[in-house]
Amino acid sequence: MLIHLILKDLKIEWRSKEIITSMFIFGLSITLIFALAFQVAPGLIHAFASGLLWVVILFTSVLGLNRLFSLEREEHAMWSWTSAPVDRGTVYIAKVFSALIFVLMSELLFIVPFFIFLNLPANFSFFQLALILFLGTGAIVSVGCLISGITLQAGLRDVLIPILLFPSASPVAIAATKCTGFLFDKKPLADWNFWLLILCSFFVVFGLFGYLVFNRIVEE
């Protein structure tokens, strides 16, 4: 059933292409602004690149999380969605996976222009970058889907998501930036595996917490 719920989101996205496209274009626009704003001191870019990357990812995730749950709200499909014959924790897990897929896809699209625009050398392990992106994005969407679910009925939804998400995800911002920074400096994995562990624990802790409480969030 989990797979059906994820496929439903993927099918809707395949037909409309609205979430990934908007996240990609938004990410590209922020990258452009960063590239222009840092023109005065190109030498600084390398030192700040890891932080900039995660600022872009956090901002685009907010956009994606906002849209992802709006689908159910706009079409009044909320109750058919939550009445899927599984417990609601599974519904939450399905949303986390759909969000993870969408955000990762948009990252794949804007990470190339990000490196080109900011003139960053790409001579590091791509497998390790993929691992960091997966865990970091997973950590962001695990708490993000929970917050998105909480603010589903709120009038100020667009404002509440970033207000609640950014401080809650501050450990992710620190850990992911540290990992990426070490990776860009070509440090061995043993130097920064602690930060991967932080990302992993965040992903697991908030994934489980969301699974446990989502039932209470969407109940009538």
Q: Please, which of residues 26-55 interact with other proteins by CB under 8 A? A: none
1, 86 in Cβ contact below 8 A? yes
Burial class (CB in 10 A: 0-12, 13-18, 19+), 78: middle
At its nearest, how many Å lie between other proteins and the CB of residue 113?
Answer: 29
22, 105 in Cβ contact below 8 A? no
Cα–Cα separations (whole angstroms), residue 218 to 70, 212, 215 = 14, 12, 6
Q: Please, which of residues 128-167 interact with other proteins by CB under 8 A? A: 143, 146, 150-151, 153-156, 159-160, 163-164, 166-167
Does position 206 bind other proteins by CB under 8 A?
Answer: yes
28, 110 in Cβ contact below 8 A? yes
Does position 105 bind other proteins by CB under 8 A?
Answer: no
Burial class (CB in 10 A: 0-12, 13-18, 19+), 165: buried
47 token code pair: 């030192």
At its nearest, how many Å lie between other proteins and the CB of residue 2?
Answer: 22
Site string for other proteins, 186-205 (x = CB under 8 A): --------x---x--xx--x
Does position 216 bind other proteins by CB under 8 A?
Answer: yes
Does position 179 bind other proteins by CB under 8 A?
Answer: no
The one among 52, 93, 94, 175 contacting other proteins by CB under 8 A? 175
Which positions ≥6 away from 47 have C-beta within 8 Å? none
Interacting residues with other proteins (CB under 8 A): 143, 146, 150-151, 153-156, 159-160, 163-164, 166-168, 170-171, 174-175, 178, 194, 198, 201-202, 205-206, 209, 213, 216-217, 219
